[in-house]
Amino acid sequence: MQNIIITGGAGFIGSHVVRLFVNKYPQYNIYNVDKLTYAGNLANLKDIEDKPNYHFIKADICDFETMLDIMQRDQIDGIIHLAAESHVDRSIKDPFTFAQTNVMGTLSLLQAAKAYWESLPEKYEGKRFYHISTDEVYGALQMTHPEGIVPPFTTKASSGKHHLAYGEKFFTEDLKYQPHSPYSAAKASSDHFVRAFHDTFGMPTIVTNCSNNYGPYQFPEKLIPLFINNIRHRKPLPVYGKGENVRDWLYVEDHARAIDTIFHNGKIAETYNIGGFNEWKNIDIIKVLINTVDRLLGRPEGADMDLITYITDRAGHDLRYAIDSTKLQKELGWEPSLQFEEGIEKTVKWYLDNQEWLDNVTSGDYQKYYDNMYKNR
């Protein structure tokens, strides 16, 4: 495979995937196709923007003609599709944009890939359409526990390994989709379209569903970067409900490594769940963030606990997510590389050391990067 489109490469996870592919595979041409919505930030890719195998194309995935032009002109063999509207709170306020980008955008990309690949003599041979999705499509898990044991408790996943968990059930690949938010409903719909293009037209597709990512370059509307920034500036930390909801956290570079493994070695038409068996209640993570920021800034550890402010719960707030990634670990040998404690320390340090990046995002200046750097290239 030579020519690969990565959509949404200026976003949080996409930028890590682009960086990994550009550095690891100098023989591939990587085309980062991104519309640069509020979530796209080309400064995320400063370190690789001059590499000869990296190409940025500002375009909307919903624009079928442009997608087809790019595929024909650059003779695209593989697509790793991350572009999406990704923030649940925004989807509650504006579901239309989520249906447009996540559903219609994915469909337009699929149709363009179909039109281009079916026009070639070899058709789908050696081609791949890899769709990145979320664990949120499975809905929410309960916080059940064996009698007498207060969660978190140690349990055995199908991997045979023991993990700390807040309930006995995990998200496995065979579960029925039960999305609750407009965001997850739109992602679920896009997953169905991708699978339908395999089943109907024989397109070589793969879908993966990953748990919550954290790490550098995440837009500071999401829990971890928002709260790190607020703690630094001693601003209130708006905790939804009682902070009891559970999320399963994975360091973003581990997700990018999983994407690399699956893109190259995953089986066509398969689904793989990606996660590191790392469940945390929001309130416990928030306390770790406060202690870590305080310590790294030389404040007494825990001094900023009074910033915690409980607010009205998110509408339809899913109680617990927990991924069972046994299939990926057993079949393709992927494992997370970082313990959460190391990952969170690295992440907090990164945001504290890169205050300029954060300030540019919060001030809106990051949106001038394209005009300054690219428009006249």
Binding site for ligand DAU (CB under 6 A): 86-88, 134-136, 211-212, 222-223, 226, 238-240, 245, 247, 282, 314, 321
Catalytic residue among 60, 77, 85, 136: 136
User: Of 215, 214, 211, nearest to 325 (Cα)?
Assistant: 211
- The 3-state DSSP class for residue 142 equals coil
E strands of the chain, at which residues?
Answer: 3-7, 29-34, 54-58, 78-81, 128-134, 153-156, 162-165, 205-210, 212-214, 237-240, 246-251, 271-274, 279-281, 308-311
Q: In whole angstroms, give the CA distance from residue 350 to residue 355.
A: 9
Binding letters toward ligand NAD, positions 164-203, x by CB under 6 A: -----------------------x----------------
- Residue 99 phi, psi (nearest 5): -65, -40
Residue type, 345: E
Asked if 348 touches ligand NAD (CB under 6 A), the answer is no
State the minimum distance, in angstroms, from the CB of residue 108 to ligand DAU: 21
Q: In whole angstroms, give the CA distance from residue 322 to residue 211.
A: 7
218-257 positions binding ligand NAD, by CB under 6 A = 219
User: Of 211 and 347, which CB lies nearer to ligand DAU in the complex structure?
Assistant: 211
Q: In whole angstroms, give the CA distance from residue 267 to residue 203.
A: 13
Stretch that binds ligand NAD, among 116-124, 164-172, 206-214, 321-329 (CB under 6 A): 206-214
Angle between helix 182-201 and helix 106-118 axes, rounded to 10 deg: 20
Q: Which does 276 bind (CB under 5 to 8 A by kind): ligand DAU, ligand NAD, none?
A: none
Q: In whole angstroms, give the CA distance from residue 96 to residue 265.
A: 35
Q: Are 26 and 53 within 8 A, CB to CB? A: yes
Q: In whole angstroms, give the CA distance from residue 211 to residue 180.
A: 16
Q: Determine whether 136 is an active site residue.
A: yes
Q: Which does 239 bind (CB under 5 to 8 A by kind): ligand NAD, ligand DAU, none?
A: ligand DAU
Q: In whole angstroms, give the CA distance from residue 325 to residue 274.
A: 5
State the minimum distance, in angstroms, from the CB of residue 271 to ligand DAU: 15
User: Of 124 and 370, which CB lies nearer to ligand NAD in the complex structure?
Assistant: 370
Stretch that binds ligand NAD, among 4-12, 292-300, 317-325, 360-368 (CB under 6 A): 4-12
User: Of 57 and 303, which CB lies nearer to ligand NAD in the complex structure?
Assistant: 57
Binding letters toward ligand NAD, positions 66-85, x by CB under 6 A: ----------------xxx-
Q: Which does 44 bind (CB under 5 to 8 A by kind): ligand DAU, ligand NAD, none?
A: none
Catalytic residues: 135-136, 183
Interacting residue ranges for ligand NAD, rule: CB under 6 A = 7-8, 10-14, 34-37, 39-40, 60-62, 82-84, 86, 101, 105, 132, 134, 187, 210, 212-213, 219
